[in-house]
Amino acid sequence: MRYRPMSYSDVDPDYGHLDSSAQAAAQDDDTGFFSDLFMGVASGVEGFGRSVIGLADFALGDALPDEWSERTLERPDSLVGGLVEGITQFGLGLIPGLGMAGLLGKGGKLLSVSDKLLKTSKTLTTGVTADFVAFDAHEERLSDFLASHDVTRNVVTEYLSSDEDDGEFEGRMKNVLEGGALAGVAGALIKGVKTLKKGRKLDGSEDALDEYTKSADELKEALIESGIATRQGIEIEMNLKNKLPSALRRVRDQLNNTKLDQQGGGRTEVDTDSALPKYPDC
């Protein structure tokens, strides 16, 4: 039996005329979603092309007409459209980014660079190149939004905000810095979720414990590499965690062994054997 969503007429026939309005609104929502999707892709492609032209103009010493780097398509103002635009623009930037990473990989093999260092360098090169090439120097970025709110406004977000007075190189380097910070946070978040999943799979076996320990170590390294935490700070936290349980157990035992008996009039009888301080009657 095929499920049919409940309509207004099912509740009360007198409200049947609202069914057509609800169906029209649903169709408009579907049409709006695909419209935002298409607009986001088109705007992302144009944004990438304009950014490349702007970079070429910078390399050629401002030899190209200014109107070549100006946008002509309408940019999406919805959340879906904005996300699709950014993803499309960054995705196109990965094309030259992967090309640069490939060249770096060939050079690293000739110099006998370790695989771990080479992999990290290629990842960084890909992201840096994509952020530098794909986005215009004066394009509004996440820092503009963060700097517009008191809670997230600070020296870093204010500096990374777009500024028409920024030079081409400085503006694009701001894109790189913000993109690197976001990538680091996203990477740490993904590894954090992975570690939580490994923790839920702990069943007492050595294999499960080894996988969880490995995932936790990767999370620590990701937090350190992204600048969210320091190795010294993590070591201090681990030492505190190792020492706190015994101290907390002692306090809990003292609280459980302390018998408070309120007997009206504000008098409180305290167990004389308790390790907690004794207060006089008030």
Cα separation, 156 vs 148, in Å, equals: 13
Asked if 41 contacts 84 with a C-beta cutoff of 8 angstroms, the reply is yes
Task: Give the residue, 282 or 95, on which the prediction is more confident.
Answer: 95
d(C-alpha 221, C-alpha 203), whole Å? 25
Which residue type sits at 237?
A: E
pLDDT for residue 264 is more than 50: no
Tokens 């090309």 correspond to what residue? 99
Cross-strand bridge partners of residue 268: 262
96 or 251: which leads in pLDDT: 96
Please give the average per-residue pLDDT across 199-228, as a whole number.
79
Q: Which residues contact 91 (CB under 8 A, 6 or more apart)?
A: 44
Tens digits of residue pLDDT in 111-163: 888 888 888 888 889 989 999 999 988 888 888 888 888 888 888 888 888 88
- The amino acid at 80: V
Residues 6 or more apart in contact with residue 160 via CB below 8 angstroms: 141, 143, 147, 174, 177, 178
